[in-house]
Amino acid sequence: MSKKVAVISGSKSDSNITDLIGKVFDDFGVDHEIRVISAHRNHDELQEYVSNSDADIFIGVAGLSAHLPGVLSALTTKPVIGVPVEAKLGGIDSLLSIAQMPPGIPVAAVGIDNGKNAALLAIAILCLNDEELHNKLVEYRNSWKTQ
C-alpha cells in the first residue's frame, strides 16, 4: 500500500530543509511530494492542492509568520506536522506560531529547522498501518544505539 506525504514550504528559501525531508523519505521508500505554496501569497492554490491531495500526512515548513502549518490543519483533518524555520528571533517566533494553535486545529511541531524529525514523525504515523515500514524504522532506531 503506497503512502504519501505532502511536504509544503512557504518559500524556495526553505529548500535546505525540504531537501533533507525528501532524503529521509527516499531512504525509507516513502512516497512523497515537495511543493512550494505560500499560505499568504497563494492561498487559493494551497486550498485547491490540499483538497485534491491523496496525501496521508502533510508537513508544513515555515518561517517568519509561520502560518502555513496552521492553514494546512484548517484545510484538512489529516495529520499536519509543522517545521519552524529560523528566520527571525532564532526561530522562536516560528515555533510559537506553529505550536500555539487554537483548540480544535492541532499541528504537531518539531524543533526549529528539524525537518529530519518531521520526516521521522510522519514515518512513525505511517507505521501504524505498514509493518514493513515499521521494521525499517525499528532498524533505523537500533542503528543509533551503537553511536
Q: Is 89 buried (19+), middle (13-18) or exposed (0-12) by CB count in 10 A? A: exposed
pLDDT at 147 (0 to 100): 65
Mean pLDDT of 106-110: 96
pLDDT at 1 (0 to 100): 40
- Give the closest residue to 32 by CA, choosing from 115, 144, 99, 114: 115
Going by pLDDT thresholds of 50, 70 and 90, the confidence category of residue 3 is: low
pLDDT at 89 (0 to 100): 86
- The residue among 136 and 3 whose pLDDT is bigger is 136
Distance between CA atoms of 146 and 49, rounded to whole angstroms? Answer: 42
Please give the domain boundaries of the chain with CATH numbers for all domains.
4-144 (3.40.50.1970)
List pLDDT tens digits, range 26-73.
999 999 999 999 998 999 999 999 999 999 999 999 988 789 999 999
